[in-house]
Amino acid sequence: MLKSIKVRDYMTRGLITLKPDMELFEAISLLQKNRISGAPVVDENGHLIGVLSEGDCLNAIIKDIYYEEAGGRVSEYMSTAVETIGPDEDIIDIAIDFNKKRKRRFPVIEDGRLVGQISQRDILRAVLEIAQHPSHG
This prediction has a pTM of: 0.81
> Which three-class secondary structure state does DSSP give residue 18?
strand
The angle that helices 91-101 and 120-132 make with each other, rounded to 10 degrees, is 140
- Number of C-beta neighbours around residue 114 at 10 A: 20
What Cα–Cα distance (Å) separates residue 99 from each residue in 83, 94, 119, 121, 131?
14, 9, 12, 13, 21
Are 86 and 77 in contact by the 8 Å Cβ rule? The answer is: no
**Rounded Cα gap, residues 82 and 107, in angstroms:** 8
Q: Where are the domains of the chain?
A: 7-136
CATH architecture of 7-136: Roll (3.10)
pLDDT at 134: 66
Confidence of residue 1 (pLDDT cuts 50, 70, 90): very low
Confidence of residue 5 (pLDDT cuts 50, 70, 90): confident
pLDDT at 92: 87
pLDDT digits (tens, 9 = 90+) for 55-98: 899 988 888 777 666 678 999 999 999 999 999 999 889 999 99
Contacts of 131 (CB under 8 A, 6+ apart): none
